[in-house]
């Protein structure tokens, strides 16, 4: 059995955060760490050892996801970051410029999000 990959999920909607955490925990060998604000995400990304992926909402209280990604890129340029939002495609260009590796709209469904995560984690056998 492979070791669990540590994933930081950053989402301010607590219900959505709980649903995603349960879904990800059931979907694979993931150790899920959560944050609700951008500043928390930056702190955790800096301090967590073995962090394999960040899944970041765009709109967060205080420091938004775009700002948080820019800050994370200052000290972790190779850390894969998947940005997600419920606000449609209008943030795609900003997310990519901030340093996201991939961008998805939340309504694409859990399968597409998991596929994107697996790609970013280097699990190329995902279709």
| pLDDT tens readout for residues 63-116 | 999 999 999 999 999 999 999 988 888 899 999 999 999 999 887 766 788 889
Q: Which residues of 78-97 are buried (b: 16+ CB within 10 A; e: fewer)?
A: ebbbbbbbeeeeebbebbee
Domain assignment of residue 42, given as a range: 5-120
Domain for residue 29, yes or no? yes
CB 119 within 8 A of CB 126: yes
Task: Give the pair of three-digit tokens for residue 47.
Answer: 């301090």
Residue 127 within a domain: no
**Quick one: angle between helices 38-47 and 65-75, nearest 10?**
20
For residue 126, being part of any structural domain is answered with no
Render pLDDT for 23-60 as a digit per residue (tens, 0 to 9).
Answer: 776 767 788 899 999 999 999 999 999 999 999 999 99
- Over the range 28-67, which residues count as b (16 or more CB within 10 Å of their CB) and which as e? eebbbbbbbbbebbbebbeeeeebbbbbbbbebeebbbbb
**Is there a contact between 29 and 1 (Cβ–Cβ < 8 Å)?**
yes
Band of pLDDT at residue 127, cut at 50, 70 and 90: very low
What pTM, to 2 d.p., does this model score? 0.87
Total structural domains in the chain?
Answer: 1
pLDDT at position 113:
82
CATH number assigned to the domain comprising residue 25: 3.40.50.2300
In a domain, 83, yes or no: yes
């Amino acid at each position: 059995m492979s070791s669990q990959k540590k994933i930081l999920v950053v989402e301010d909607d607590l219900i959505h955060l709980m649903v995603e955490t349960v879904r990800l925990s059931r979907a694979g060998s993931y150790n899920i760490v959560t944050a609700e604000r951008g500043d928390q995400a930056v702190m955790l990304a800096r301090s967590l050892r073995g962090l394999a992926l960040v899944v970041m909402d765009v709109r967060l209280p205080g420091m938004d996801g775009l700002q948080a990604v820019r800050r994370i890129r200052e000290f972790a340029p190779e850390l894969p970051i998947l940005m997600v939002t419920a606000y449609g495609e209008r943030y795609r260009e900003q997310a990519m410029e901030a340093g996201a590796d991939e961008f998805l709209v939340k309504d694409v469904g859990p399968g597409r999000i998991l596929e994107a995560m697996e790609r970013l984690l280097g699990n190329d056998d995902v279709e």
